[in-house]
Chains A and B, each alone.
Chain A
């Protein structure tokens, strides 16, 4: 961790501009990154335009029941078949993208909101405050995030918001660690020393000088994490700690569909496939972005 070296072109001076053409060129070079980008754009598109895409929007939004057509296999009428209540699984999977994306974005927003400032403070101020923050971070990092999220989720009432809180609880330390490492290596750069010499306050150095130079690392980390947060959210949903019915959450859908395996395979398979594709998409894109920004993350 301490040996983390960042050779970041963008980081060399806070006023250097980002070269979009070059970035696109680099991203294009890797086919898999493009696949990732394509998937991510697709999932976001699905999430935004769900009400216009799906054939049965009511099946995914309200307490709809249609017991006369329950457990039907995939057909032209129902692309992914129907579930135990007769709802269209395709509609629910598409709407599920909204839940998962919202979960991912909000969790990361909270994690970044807490983790990044703490990392900056620990890095710039150092000393006892820094040590205290980093030791607390270490304690959190020692517990696997899924286990921590499980514990928190079990205490709170099972709702989507609480699930987000539970996951964020175990996610912010990663950003603290990451930013802390970045700060340590940027701290002795000329532009930081210069502003120090000019009498800038520590707050200014942290948030105006150093933070912009960490953004690319944070973006790459966030993109890579997006997949894992969605996966964690789905795992909690699978264990019954997430969104409650009738919310179309992918993990919950798998949990409900799994008793019907293997004969009625469509009930668990399609939401599972949605998770697989989405997580894969964010990972591939994250990999690509890492090459673009030329960032090295912890442990890779």
Chain B
């Protein structure tokens, strides 16, 4: 018994010693600049839940779908901008009232099954996603009735919207075209009449796309293997990635070691700022860092006391230390000004950003109807995300200085999505990182502050303001682009004035890869920087 203790102790000591010594040597191994044999390994941060293009919601799901399917329009990656450009659609026209869109389609595309791509597949795909009502179907809810999508010929399809909808073409970056013949063959009985289950059971494990890669293996929780689709309609060039593995690794220390040793060729964008700083110092690793079109903000629940009072919210906004948050926690991020990220076309540049001013914060608090009460606010954040933990403690410190009590609540992501479905359960404040969902500022105005968005984590502030709603609606349906822009600009000013959120930052987007990887372009749309087809090896 006693001896085993001594043994145990010595093992621990030895392990500690080894750990301490190996620390210095960790960067030496990273001098290799040629790719190791085997597939291109991309390390992702979270498990892929669904590979069905009617159900994807997050980054890893989107990556697995955009590499195996094609959308009608694709962000103009080659030009480095996020605006949608031709892909399966060669060009399109819009009617004068802004309601009817006619797309001309490519006639040289075949699906991986060998079936030819036609307008019928487009009709089936949009009907399927709207019918299933999951994933990104909210983009077209109330805007497009499935029966109003018609195949005019094999290479022409017409969408008739209920009313003019400015961001429509942008939203099509989330419409991936499925092989309708294959799915009809593989449908089982379901709730969609003649369509059975729309092939949902089949797509739980299979792919029915025309994309550049075939899914060769999917081990849930561990990895997805892709290999090139030889008959891809865009063709293949020397150096492009033929075999790709998307590996899911959640422990940051492991991710760092993998990239350092060359076991991974590229790693995801969600590591700590410190990790990318370390990568920058290592040889053989490139860190891509650019300003993003992401909004990191802290929505304040406007439907719950005491933050239903605008004076309390303004006190919070003036108490927050934006400089520490941006300079130190987010390591050189730009302070966000209003809900729309600064780099997005249509951002209102006349808005005045809030600045820390403790005196002003106290004044506003004194003006509020809760003045004199002891105010306790709940602050929710992702416990496993260091920058959010840091923000949480910054807010706690800042607000206590003004006279609030702050109850911190570190949670996993699922708790955030669950609690924000109802105003009563939504915390007073919650940290949200919101990337553009489609390449249009409508995503961060209408998509967050229109009442139809209520119940999603995106609209955790439960913003409701008749004037804003009216502006957003007329912006969406305006046919004249100038009138449209004016509406969006005015809406931003109104939202900013109502103080529904601490607009913290448009943080920098960072991603790291080995220096033999070429062709990486980040345009701002979540996931679209990881179309493996566009990468190559030197």
Contact = CB atoms under 8 A, between A and B. Distances in A.
A30 B23 contact: no
A63 B396 contact: yes
B394 A65 contact: yes
A256 B278 contact: no
A273 B390 CA distance: 24
B455 to A, nearest CB: 24
How extensive is the interface on chain A, given as a class? 20 to 34
A263 B260 CA distance: 12
Contacts of A38: none
Interface stretch (B143-151, B217-225, B403-411): B403-411
A244 interface: yes
Interface in A247-263: 255-256, 258-263
B16 to A, nearest CB: 8
A262 B257 CA distance: 9
A226 B99 CA distance: 71
B114 interface: no
Contacts of A260: 272, 274, 386
B383 interface: yes
Contacts of A273: 16
How extensive is the interface on chain B, given as a class? 35 or more
A132 to B, nearest CB: 36
B397 A63 contact: yes
B389 A63 contact: no
B425 interface: no
B77 to A, nearest CB: 31
A243 to B, nearest CB: 10
A63 B406 contact: yes
A65 B274 contact: no
Given A85-B393, A262-B22, A280-B9, A245 B410 contact: yes
Interface in B362-383: 383
Given A32-B2, A67-B394, A264-B274, A84 B408 contact: no
A245 B392 contact: yes
B19 A262 contact: yes
A287 B408 contact: no
Contact of B393 (A246, A258, A261): A246
Contacts of A51: none
A84 B410 contact: no
B5 A32 contact: yes
Interface in B15-33: 16, 19-20, 22-23, 26
Given A67-B329, A260-B386, 9 more contacts: A85-B390, A158-B410, A256-B386, A258-B251, A262-B23, A262-B26, A262-B256, A263-B278, A287-B2
Interface of A: 30, 32, 63-65, 67-68, 70-71, 84-85, 158, 240, 244-246, 255-256, 258-265, 269, 273, 276, 280, 283-284, 287
17 contacts: A63-B396, A63-B400, A63-B406, A71-B274, A84-B386, A158-B410, A240-B383, A245-B392, A245-B396, A246-B408, A258-B253, A259-B275, A259-B386, A263-B278, A265-B19, A265-B20, A276-B12
